[in-house]
C-alpha cells in the first residue's frame, strides 16, 4: 500500500497524532515538575531557578 503524504486525510491523521503526542509529553513533564516541587529538600528558590533557566511560563510556585 502506497501512502500519499499530501493526502488531506493522511495529513489530518498525522497532525492529530502529533498534537496528541505533544499533549502526552507536556503532561508527563508537568507531573514530574509537580513531584519535584513536593520533594523534600527542593525549596522555592531552587524551583524558581529551574523555571528561569528553562524559561517556563509559570505564574505561581507551590510552597
How many Å apart are CA 13 and CA 46, to the nearest integer?
41
Q: Which three cell numbers stand for residue 26?
A: 507536556
pTM: 0.61
The C-alpha atoms of residue 61 and residue 5 are separated, in whole angstroms, by 44
The total of other beta-carbon atoms located within 10 Å of residue 8's CB is: 8
Distance between CA atoms of residues 48 and 1, nearest Å:
52
The pLDDT, as a whole number, for residue 61 is: 64
Q: Which pLDDT belongs to residue 37?
A: 85
pLDDT digits (tens, 9 = 90+) for 10-56: 889 989 999 999 999 989 988 888 888 888 888 888 888 888 898 88
Amino acid at each position: 500500500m502506497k501512502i500519499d503524504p499530501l493526502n488531506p486525510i493522511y495529513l489530518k491523521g498525522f497532525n492529530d497524532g502529533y498534537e496528541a503526542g505533544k499533549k502526552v509529553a507536556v503532561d508527563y513533564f508537568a507531573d514530574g515538575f509537580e513531584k519535584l516541587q513536593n520533594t523534600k529538600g527542593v525549596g522555592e528558590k531552587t524551583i524558581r531557578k529551574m523555571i528561569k533557566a528553562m524559561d517556563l511560563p509559570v505564574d505561581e510556585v507551590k510552597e
